[in-house]
Amino acid sequence: MQWFGPTWNAPICNSQDKAATPVGWACAACGIEIKGGDRGFLIPHMDHDNTDSKPWHLRCLLNAVGVAELIAEAATKRTPAEDETHEPPPAEEPLRDEDDG
Ligand SMILES: [Zn+2]
Domain for residue 59, yes or no? yes
Contacts 24+ apart (CB under 8 A), 74-78: none
Query: Taking residues 28-40, what's their average pLDDT?
Result: 96
Domain for residue 98, yes or no? no
Region label for 69, one of left (φ > 0), alpha (ψ between -120 and 50) or beta (otherwise)? alpha
> Residue 15 Cα, ligand 1 centroid: separation in angstroms?
23
> Residue 99 Cα, ligand 1 centroid: separation in angstroms?
41
What is the three-class DSSP state of 18? Answer: strand
**pLDDT beyond 80 at 9:** yes
Distance CA 64, CA 54 (A): 15
Query: Taking residues 43-72, what's their average pLDDT?
Result: 85
Task: Give the bridge partners for 43, in sequence order.
Answer: 54
Distance CA 9, CA 72 (A): 15
Domain boundaries, position 37: 2-68
pLDDT tens-digit readout, 60-96: 999 998 877 777 777 777 555 554 555 555 566 666 6
Q: How many domains does the chain have?
A: 1
Ligand 1 ion: nearby residues, β-carbon < 5 Å:
27, 29-30, 57, 60
